[in-house]
Homo-oligomer: A and B are copies of this chain.
Amino acid sequence: MSPTKMPTERTVTLKDVAEHAGVSPMTVSRALNKPATVSETLRARIGASVESLGYVQNLVAGALASAGSNVIPVIVPSLSNSVFVEVIAGIQDVAQAAGYQLMLGNTEYDLDREYGAVSTFLGWSPPGMIIAGMRHLDRTRNLLKRWGKPVVEMMEYGTQAIDMNVGLSHYKAGETMATHLVTQGYREIVFIGCRIQADYRAAQRYKGMDRILARHGLHRREPISYDGPSNWALGGDALMDVLEATPKVDAIFFANDDLAVGAILRAQREGVAVPKRVAIAGFNGLGLADLVQPGLTTIMSPRLEIGRVAARQLLDRFAGHTPAKRRVDVSFQLQVRGST
């Protein structure tokens, strides 16, 4: 682990600072962590010593001694989906301002890797944890429950939360969009996404849609799922594929806006009339959805908000408060635009 071991001068420790300032180590520790409890005189002297010795607190030792770090692990299934990035940015906003560091785990939609990440992160004695989704391996759930510290499951709103929960119902979102499409008169609707077997939130949107189609006695199709992470170009390809394979499709509900926007741009380029030939709908409410032509009908999900709320729920608990709600439904909003 140690790189080219040069004859590095010994690291400066608390003790060194203490000696330099002529006080006890404990006083230095306090001056650094709870300045209010140290007299102004000493605080200044210690500050000067810290400065002149170039002392950097060893947070590892601090975390061990006090049995707790200020690191908050955040576990997400993907970084290539812009949604998670925005959520992370929201968490960062709040957490960093409160003096917490984020540690990032990426599971690539693999529940075993998720377990690994959780279990590794627990080893950092974090004061709490944020994890995307509510579907985990049993042992993951058990581990977190036994752990007993605050845990926020985000992105999805559900009843079986391990501890706290912030998100929205993807099933309802699917229902909402499908209802809209059916109301508009579309009859041959298909759902297109990526890694749907793993991305069960997308799958739930599909199921919500499917239920509505069933209720209206419409043609129900299996979702179309592509491998690999979603990206803009893929949406366009998917559009062309489905139009060729299933010409009578008159509406597509994409699993996310990245795909849907890609499809609209491609349609424009290929001269496919949207929504006349085929309607296109997405999910997320990316800023871009409003800029393409026609505007993309989508479901707005408050991504930054989810992140911020998740972080605040944790911070509340750290502070000893019981948060107003253990479960927050941030809800969503259907945004109808030209594409349907």
Stretch from A120-128, A154-162, A203-211 forming part of the interface with B: A120-128
Please encode chain A, from 38 to 78, with 1 for each CB lying within 8 Å of some chain B CB and 0 for all others: 00000000000000001011111111101111110000000
Query: Which chain B residue shows the least CB distance to A269?
Result: B293
Q: How many copies does the complex hold?
A: 2
The reply to whether B60 and A150 form a contact with Cβ atoms under 8 Å apart is: no
The reply to whether B233 and A291 form a contact with Cβ atoms under 8 Å apart is: yes
A148 and B236 in contact (CB under 8 A), knowing A60-B63, A79-B88, A265-B292? no
Please indicate the chain B residues that have their CB under 8 angstroms from the CB of A103 in the complex. Answer: 71, 101-104
Please indicate the chain B residues that have their CB under 8 angstroms from the CB of A196 in the complex. Answer: none
The reply to whether A6 and B148 form a contact with Cβ atoms under 8 Å apart is: yes
Query: Which chain B residue shows the least CB distance to A122?
Result: B56
A2, A150, A231, A269 — which one has the most chain B CB atoms within 10 A of its CB?
Answer: A2
Q: How far is the CA of A104 from the CA of B58 in the complex (A)?
A: 18
A67, A102, A123, A268 — which one has the most chain B CB atoms within 10 A of its CB?
Answer: A123
The reply to whether A58 and B125 form a contact with Cβ atoms under 8 Å apart is: yes
Please indicate the chain B residues that have their CB under 8 angstroms from the CB of A125 in the complex. Answer: 58, 60
The reply to whether A265 and B287 form a contact with Cβ atoms under 8 Å apart is: no
Question: Quick check: is A3 within 8 A (CB to CB) of the other chain?
Answer: yes
Please encode chain A, from 122 to 140, with 1 for each CB lying within 8 Å of some chain B CB and 0 for all others: 1111011000000000000
A150 and B79 in contact (CB under 8 A), knowing A60-B64, A104-B103, A287-B233? no
Interface CB pairs A-B, < 8 A, 8: A3-B317, A3-B318, A54-B143, A58-B125, A79-B85, A85-B85, A104-B104, A233-B291
